[in-house]
Amino acid sequence: MRTPLRAETDLDLFVAIAREGGLRRASAKHNIAVSRLSDRLRALEEQMQVRLFHRTTRSMTLTEAGSVLLMQVEPALAALDAAVVATRLEGEPVGTLKVNAAPPAAELVLAPHLPGFLRKYPRVELQLTVEDALVDIVRAGFDLGIRYAEHLSADMISVPIGGMQRYALVAAPELLKKTGMPSRVEDLSGVPAIRHRFPSGALLPWEFSSKRRSIIVEPKNRLITDNFQVAISAALGGAGYLLIFEDRVAPWVSKGKLVSLMRNWLPAFSGPVIYYYSRKHVPPAMRAFIDYMKAATAS
């Protein structure tokens, strides 16, 4: 019996009838009523406009046209079944996986775990596009997206990864000597700032919150850039205060080259999510990536 990984066609049934030597034996093997088999064979002959079997009350034998068709079709169907099975590989992840990710998610959450994923799944080719712009992953041809949940549409399935994250407001010690150490969030109004600009032109807002209230501060823009490394270098050089993901600047804070400010006003928030459009069957490579990243970033 042919593999159930694909729908059985009239050509499959034609091959079965030819190999089994008649409708009844093919019916028993494929669990299809004799009358249904006969109807489908007749429909195939009408579609091809050729008789495929000589029929008597006791036997069925291939016509010349039927013999030619069998010689051509049987290897093609076997190759098709082999191709279907090969893509499954008993569930082994294989093929190309296209992922679109926001820079903080890609650099801070994904990057440390990509080598491990690629070692574990050597038959998967990962194509990772890192960009700030919000992208329709279905229209753009991506299998998965990785962003923060507030940017997702309602029809996406999302899987949280990476645990909690937080922002840090930092400044170089020499800059703090000039501006003075701010003691209140309100003191940040007018301080020189390094701001992140998104592809839409929007600037990363300076938002602070406590249990009782939230405050949005408008600092004095000194440098606007869409590059995090440029922003960090500028902050290290004393060009301005910088609001950025805490993990990006943790090494410099620990060495005293940057000072972390207003930490009590910058609470932790949920990390990124892997998201994809709802589908009935998730390909093995996709499922492997989701499960691996979920487990790897949970520790």
Locate the domains of the chain by residue range. Answer: 10-89, 95-164+271-296, 167-267
On the question of a common fold for 95-164+271-296 and 167-267, the answer reads: yes
Q: How many CB atoms lie within 10 A of CB 273?
A: 20
Cβ within 8 Å of residue 104, ≥6 positions away: 165, 245, 248, 272
Superfamily of domain 95-164+271-296: Periplasmic binding protein-like II (3.40.190.10)
**How many helices and strands (H and E) does the chain possess?**
11, 16
Residue with tokens 């249990």, as numbered in its chain: 211
For residue 18, the Cα-to-chain-centroid distance in whole angstroms is 45
Given a cut of 90, whether residue 219 has pLDDT beyond it is yes
Q: What pLDDT sits at residue 8? A: 72
Backbone angle region of 12, left / alpha / beta, with phi > 0 → left and psi within -120 to 50 → alpha? alpha
DSSP state of 161: -
Q: What pLDDT sits at residue 2? A: 44
**Does the structural domain 10-89 have CATH classification 1.10.10.10?**
yes
**Per-residue pLDDT tens digits for 241-293:** 999 999 999 999 999 999 999 999 999 999 999 999 876 678 889 999 999 99
Element (H, E) at 290: helix 284-296
Q: Whole-angstrom Cα distance, residue 191 to residue 239?
A: 11
The class that CATH gives domain 167-267 is: alpha beta
Mean predicted lDDT score pLDDT of the chain: 88
Tell me the Cα Rg of the chain.
Answer: 31
DSSP-assigned beta bridge partners for residue 215: 208
For residue 99, the Cα-to-chain-centroid distance in whole angstroms is 5
Q: What is the pTM of this model?
A: 0.66
